[in-house]
Amino acid sequence: MHVENHIPLHTTADNTGTLHSKVSRWTLAATVIGMAIYSLVEYFIEPPSALGAFLLHHVLHVAVIGFAVWVVSFLLIRRLLIEPTDHIFLHLRRVAAGRLEFLDCTVSVKEVGHVVASVNHLVTRLRRTPEPDSVSRSLDHLRGLREALKTVSATAQDDLVPVMRLVTALEGDLLDLLQVNEDEVLRKAKK
């Protein structure tokens, strides 16, 4: 049975969004909440004589500092996490399309470096081609196994039937693999 595994590139669920927008919203929300808490603490520690003076001298500088912290944290997260992640996802889509190239990505965070190393290891494994004679060697080993099973179980012929059926099925699968490999070689030779 063949099951096609198709994963959409973009999800359309209502609760998902881009990493960029989520980081932007959450860092802004954390900054606003921090600014509000700090302003309230200042208000209760030293109640102002005039609300306008309090807004001008305390809330304004808290808002400016909070905005600066938000911008710096957002840009830092974007540079360290979002941009490399976007680059990795783009590269994985290329790998899925058959372009088995190594990921060249400058990283400043250890965890992102681990992901890049894992993607490059995946590409290495996908690029690895079997030896040209590996399928024929497998068929030779399979024939040897068939002969060994026949000689070992000459006395218990009934027990051998299920094993020989499995060996025959395996042999058929290897022949199919050999045919696919030959078709691929011929296709590459035509290009």
At 37-85, the pLDDT tens digits run 988 888 888 888 888 888 887 778 888 888 898 889 889 888 888 888 8
Q: Which two tokens stand for residue 103?
A: 């990921």
The reply to whether 154 and 82 lie within a common domain is no
The reply to whether 110 and 155 lie within a common domain is no
Evaluate whether residue 68 is within a structural domain: yes
Evaluate whether residue 1 is within a structural domain: no
- Whole-number mean pLDDT of the chain? 77
The reply to whether 65 and 80 lie within a common domain is yes
What pTM, to 2 d.p., does this model score? 0.53
Domain span at residue 51 reads 19-127
Alpha-carbon gap, residue 168 to 149, rounded angstroms: 12
The reply to whether 83 and 155 lie within a common domain is no
Question: Which helix (H) or strand (E) is 74 found in, with range?
Answer: helix 60-77
pLDDT bin (cut points 50, 70, 90) of residue 93 is very high
